[in-house]
Amino acid sequence: MKRTVFYSILMFALLGLQACGPVIVSHRLADPPPPWFYPHRVEAVRYVFFPEISIYYDLSTRTYVYLDGEVWVRRRELPNQYRATDLNRYRYERVRNYYDDNIQRYHQENNANRGRSNKTVTRRSN
């Protein structure tokens, strides 16, 4: 009888804890966003894109993601040619509704042809 009551209480306690949802434990306090990121607007985004220099910043891993030659790389620092650059001077765009690790797919679908001239586009004349 005692054993049945114990297991019943244990089962209800576990079910009650399950209703709380996932518990996330981090070894560090939440890092503040970079100084160039507008901090007063609450918005759930993972990536920020700098269209002038074609570089993404991953807010969740605190890394810059960019094309180095033909390979997408993740680095904690900007590429050499932009290390002395003040990102506050650059326009950036929040990448909304994209949380996947593969930014290459997003870039190909949304930003691959950005900034290219359309002079090579042949138009049909009617």
Query: pLDDT tens for residues 52-101?
Result: 999 999 988 999 999 998 899 999 999 999 988 899 899 999 898 899 99
Q: What's the pLDDT at 35?
A: 72
- Calculate the average pLDDT of the chain: 77
Smallest CA-to-CA distance from 57 within 23, 32, 93 is with 93
87 DSSP assignment: G
Report the predicted TM-score, pTM, of the whole model to 2 decimal places. Answer: 0.61
Nearest 5°: phi and psi at 14? Answer: -65, -40
Instruction: Count Cβ atoms within 10 A of the Cβ of residue 20 and give its class: 0-12 exposed, 13-18 middle, 19 or more buried.
Output: exposed
